[in-house]
Copies of this chain bind each other. A is one copy, B any other.
């Protein structure tokens, strides 16, 4: 078994190649950094982690320990095997994009999770003509019975992490969300790095 360490720099994205059985730990050293998360099957990048199918399989809008993360074909891609945070990771809201920053009055070259996804995929040799909804780790979006959603700072604390087990060979993309106008990445409104550890060979 080998463990490799990586950093996803604040406001940037990165892709990771995972084999079946690999464990990936995604940590927020600051405790306040949201990680937009996507996955694509190694044998067909058009098969992607699907939030609408994942909510359907788990009968829940949040992702917590034990949740099964499935593709648009309802194939099990990842399982949440550990979570030191209060959980309730968001599946409801879109990855940030250029239109959101225009609405917020930011400059045209503000980084976005959507661009981070496509840049990371391009570096992995994948060109995708659409943007799947993201799993937003550490993002705190409570929902009420009337359907209203709120956007609050993360409830996680410094060093909290989530461990996902790859259930198929896949490409995982993480984006350390560049949102610095709303408090979704903490009241300091300062994006920070994510730390990533990948344990390979665990299935062997």
Contact = CB atoms under 8 A, between A and B. Distances in A.
A132 B48 CA distance: 12
Interface in A134-172: 134, 142-150
A10 B203 CA distance: 47
Copy number of this protein in the oligomer?
2
Nearest to A75: B99
A55 B97 contact: no
B62 A147 contact: yes
Contact of A74 (B62, B99, B149, B150): B99
A60 B59 CA distance: 18
A7 to B, nearest CB: 27
A100 interface: yes
A129 B46 contact: yes
A145 B147 contact: no
Interface residues of A, number: 40
Interface of A: 46, 48, 50-53, 55-56, 59-62, 72-75, 88, 92-95, 97, 99-100, 103, 129-134, 142-150
Given A145-B143, A148-B59, A131 B94 contact: no
Given A129-B46, A147-B62, A148-B60, A52 B51 contact: yes
